[in-house]
Amino acid sequence: MGTDILTIRDMSIHYDTPRGTLKALRHVNVNVPKGKIIGVVGESGCGKSTLISSIIRLLAPNADMASGSITFDGKELYDLSEDEMRGLRGTDISMVFQDPMQTHNPVLTIGRQMTDIQYRDDKTAEQKKARAVEMLTQVGIPDPEARLEQYPHEFSGGMRQRIAIAMALMARPKLLIADEPTTALDATLEVQIIKRLEELQADIGCSILFISHHLGVIAELCDEVVVMYAGEVVEQGSVREVFHSPQHPYTKALLECDPGHIKKKTRNLPTIPGEIPNLVDVPPGCAFAARCPRVFDECHTKRPAWTQIKDGQHALCHLAAKESVQ
Amino acid sequence: MTALLEVKDVKVRFPLGGGFMSSIGMAPKTSIEAVAGLSMTIEAGETYGIVGESGSGKTTIARAIGGLHHAQEGSIKFNGTELRGLDESQFRPLRKDISMMFQDPIGSLSPRLTIKSLLTEPYKIQGMKDRDLEAEAKRLLGMVGLPADFAGRFAYQLSGGQARRVGVARALALDPKLILADEPTAGLDVSVQGELLNLLAGLQNKLGLAMIIITHNLNVVRHITDRMGIMYLGRFVEEGLTEDIFSNPQHPYTLALLAANPEPDPDAQLARIELKGEPPSLIMRPGACEFHPRCPFVRDNCSVGESPVWDTSNPVHSHRCHWPGQHTTA
């Protein structure tokens, strides 16, 4: 596992709620190799946000890590002290959030915010400012020196998201977590952001964990994809393998639902019939069993194992152990 | 025959600044035109898509039609009745026929009311006292495929997809003739998005209502709308039959937008068209053709002189470009 920057093994996270213990993540396995872009897809409520919070160790107070481990850059994250963890956030692990309109402090200039976050560095104010200018240039903000004097509201949405990316990459992190960074932007700006991310990633050599609903964006940007369903990681593999020969029935169904896949105009879009299981009272077998078109007896009683299909492609499915899902 | 909705040359302005100097009359009062002369007609039962980048005025025009913004110029006729200039009490009865679905599904539901109260509030506002609220709430929940016991829940107990459904149910409560749906599927994953769009399509067939959908998602527009308009800086740059626009785009902005749509296939060959620079500020609109500073195919007469006229020579596909359809990088 020497090639992974982040390894999550058998991790379960439970929330203590008035309705009982909500098992938000159950026995999750994720690998983030060094220098790769990993996409994460899954519907709302499938545990994507819990996964992110667990990596930056900012879980809600009612959350409990019931099992498993997270290894980052050879260190067991949950063995670090709070001080050591704070040292990682923003330097080795940084984040870009969904909403570019609310990421920045509205009453401070962009320049102030970009120099403030370099507080750990032993540099003069001029050097910090120069670094800010350099980063703004890299994300394609014209006239960066003058722009540093401006406030967030003076930038467009696309620019603000690029500034957020510039700030997140300022410390040359080893891992960037991007939580739906293009959801709030239109298609032309989305493409711009993706291009910048690709360039910067190639330059800095960091890994990126890229969360998105948009399968098209994942296909274009990412090397590998992690598919989540109802608190479990059901498949991980290279984008090409997963998109062309999905091994988990949920992945297959999800890909078929994307209207971008359907060339002929239709008003009746495909869906996945049924409801997601109640995470307080999780069924004993496979979480997808109730909605799966290829369900059989074992699925209702026994939890499937995380099975390697081929080099670098894994699926959580009883079928995967036997044959490939077609 | 009159159209269900007829929007003609509508302009919506927002005042700028309002600083001290302008309040004492020492500085001119300035404003921006968020919607700068927009026209469209919607027939009964039709689905119309509005696309364009954030800040192009999509939400503003929807809110102007729904009576939530005041349009300073132009005319908005619904079933032949002029809506512009109506005050709140005059507009209220019309809200039975024109309903809105807002962008933020959970934020648009009051956190302190049960789903039942949220769904039946429209009846109280419209003074329909004879309705059995319990039964109506049940009927509406059933219509959008939610279990009846949701009536007792609060908004925070719903998932994003469920909150969207409640939004749909509430929009349908008064049997409207027109629904204005602002980003109805933003933030939903594709399977839930499919469910919601199928639901809307089914209800539309059954109830014969017209719908305006505002969205970033071109795949959604392609599948579910009959006609569409592409907005840039508060105006349409292209408008017409959805199929026509996708197969034969005339304006370079449309071209760039369509080319930017990522394909869910890692091996797809993408011919991107990159736009120059940033969307201009509405305070300082570019002269001549407003798109020329960003247009990858800009020619001499685009940056000086007259702005291109709205060309309606094809009645089902209009556009605003000096060089329609002739876009190749020379």
Residue B170 φ/ψ, nearest 5 degrees: -70, -40
Task: Say which residue the tokens 């009683």 belong to.
Answer: A301
**Higher-scoring residue by pLDDT: A301, B128:** A301
Which residues of chain A lie closer than 8 angstroms to B188, CB-CB? 43-44, 213
Percent of chain A past pLDDT 70, that is, above it, reads: 98
Q: Kindly state whether residue B200 falls inside one of the protein's structural domains.
A: yes
Which residues of chain A lie closer than 8 angstroms to B53, CB-CB? 185-186, 188-189
Whether residue B55 and residue A261 make contact (CB cut-off 8 A), yes or no, is no
Does the beta carbon of B127 lie under 8 angstroms from any beta carbon of chain A?
A: no
Does the beta carbon of B51 lie under 8 angstroms from any beta carbon of chain A?
A: yes
**Higher-scoring residue by pLDDT: A142, B110:** B110
pLDDT in tens, A140-168: 888 899 899 999 988 877 788 889 999 99
Does the beta carbon of A156 lie under 8 angstroms from any beta carbon of chain B?
A: yes
Task: Say which residue the tokens 């539309």 belong to.
Answer: B204
**Higher-scoring residue by pLDDT: B53, A76:** A76
CATH number assigned to the domain comprising residue B131: 3.40.50.300
Q: Kindly state whether residue B67 falls inside one of the protein's structural domains.
A: yes
The answer, yes or no, to whether ipTM is higher than 0.85 is no
Whether residue A220 and residue B270 make contact (CB cut-off 8 A), yes or no, is yes
Whether residue A269 and residue B198 make contact (CB cut-off 8 A), yes or no, is yes
Let me know whether B146 and B169 are in one domain.
Answer: yes
Confidence bin at B313 (pLDDT 50/70/90): very high
CB B5 within 8 A of CB B178: yes
Let me know whether B230 and B255 are in one domain.
Answer: no
Let me know whether B265 and B223 are in one domain.
Answer: no
Identify the weakest region by mean pLDDT among A82-96, B19-33, B60-74.
Answer: B19-33
| This prediction's pTM | 0.84
Provide the pLDDT for residue B263: 82
Q: Kindly state whether residue B47 falls inside one of the protein's structural domains.
A: yes
Whether residue B193 and residue A269 make contact (CB cut-off 8 A), yes or no, is yes
Confidence bin at A1 (pLDDT 50/70/90): very low
pLDDT higher than threshold 80 for residue A132: yes
Q: Which of B234, B260, B290 is the last residue of a domain?
A: B234
Identify the weakest region by mean pLDDT among A58-62, A185-189, B252-256, B281-285.
Answer: A185-189
Percent of chain A past pLDDT 90, that is, above it, reads: 61
Establish, for the pair of chains A and B, how many residue pairs have beta carbons separated by less than 8 Å.
140
pLDDT in tens, A277-292: 888 889 899 999 999 9
pLDDT higher than threshold 70 for residue B17: no
Does the beta carbon of B243 lie under 8 angstroms from any beta carbon of chain A?
A: yes
pLDDT in tens, B232-275: 999 999 999 999 999 999 999 999 998 888 888 888 877 888 88
Let me know whether B330 and B208 are in one domain.
Answer: no
> B112 lies in which domain range?
42-71+81-234
Let me know whether B317 and B171 are in one domain.
Answer: no
Residue range B128-154: mean pLDDT, rounded: 88
Which distant-in-sequence residues (6+ apart) come within 8 Å of A292 by Cβ? Answer: A249, A250, A286, A299
Let me know whether B106 and B213 are in one domain.
Answer: yes
**What's the count of helices (H) and strands (E) in chain A, helices before strands?**
12, 12
Let me know whether B225 and B292 are in one domain.
Answer: no
Let me know whether B122 and B222 are in one domain.
Answer: yes
Residue range B35-45: mean pLDDT, rounded: 93
Map out the domains of chain A as residue ranges.
Answer: 4-92+171-322, 105-170
Q: Which of B234, B259, B282 is the last residue of a domain?
A: B234
User: Which 222-261 residues of chain A touch chain B by CB within 8 A?
Assistant: 239-240, 243-244, 253-255, 257-261
DSSP A303: P
Output b/e per residue, B113-124; b: 16+ Cβ within 10 A: ebbbebbbebbe
Give the residues across from B36 on adjacent strands: B11
Which residues of chain B lie closer than 8 angstroms to A183, CB-CB? 186-187
User: Which 65-94 residues of chain B touch chain A by CB within 8 A?
Assistant: none
Q: Kindly state whether residue B76 falls inside one of the protein's structural domains.
A: no
pLDDT higher than threshold 60 for residue B1: no
pLDDT higher than threshold 90 for residue B43: yes
Let me know whether B102 and B230 are in one domain.
Answer: yes
Cα nearest neighbour of B266 on chain A: A219
Min Cα separation B18/chain A (Å) = 17
Among the partner residues B195, B218, B279, nearest to A187 by beta-carbon distance: B218
pLDDT higher than threshold 50 for residue A326: no
Confidence bin at A325 (pLDDT 50/70/90): very low
Q: Kindly state whether residue B1 falls inside one of the protein's structural domains.
A: no
What total number of domains does chain B contain? Answer: 2
Which distant-in-sequence residues (6+ apart) come within 8 Å of B222 by Cβ? Answer: A259, A265, B242, B246
- The whole-angstrom separation of Cα B295 and Cα B253 is 7
Which residues of chain A lie closer than 8 angstroms to B256, CB-CB? 188
Which option is the CATH number for A4-92+171-322: 3.30.420.40, 3.30.420.340, 3.40.50.80, 3.40.50.300? 3.40.50.300
pLDDT higher than threshold 70 for residue A207: yes
Provide the pLDDT for residue A156: 78
User: Which 1-40 residues of chain B touch chain A by CB within 8 A?
Assistant: none
Q: Which of B174, B206, B234 is the last residue of a domain?
A: B234
Whether residue A43 and residue B161 make contact (CB cut-off 8 A), yes or no, is yes
N-terminal to C-terminal alpha carbon distance within chain A = 31
pLDDT higher than threshold 80 for residue A216: yes
pLDDT higher than threshold 80 for residue B278: no
Percent of chain B past pLDDT 90, that is, above it, reads: 45
- The whole-angstrom separation of Cα B63 and Cα B79 is 18
Cα nearest neighbour of B259 on chain A: A188
Percent of chain B past pLDDT 70, that is, above it, reads: 95
User: Which 160-199 residues of chain B touch chain A by CB within 8 A?
Assistant: 160-161, 186-195, 197-198
Residue range B70-82: mean pLDDT, rounded: 93
Let me know whether B227 and B282 are in one domain.
Answer: no
**Higher-scoring residue by pLDDT: B151, A183:** B151
Let me know whether B196 and B146 are in one domain.
Answer: yes
Which distant-in-sequence residues (6+ apart) come within 8 Å of A14 by Cβ? Answer: A21, A22, A23, A24, A63, A64, A66
pLDDT in tens, B155-213: 888 877 788 889 989 998 888 999 999 988 877 778 888 888 898 888 888 888 999 99
Mean pLDDT for all residues in chain B: 88
Provide the pLDDT for residue B184: 86
Write out the two tokens for A3. 């090639």
Which residues of chain A lie closer than 8 angstroms to B219, CB-CB? 258-260
Write out the two tokens for A79. 């063995």
**Higher-scoring residue by pLDDT: B199, A80:** A80
CB B326 within 8 A of CB B296: no
Among the partner residues B191, B195, B223, nearest to A266 by beta-carbon distance: B223
Let me know whether B226 and B253 are in one domain.
Answer: no
Which residues of chain A lie closer than 8 angstroms to B216, CB-CB? 185-187
pLDDT higher than threshold 70 for residue A122: yes
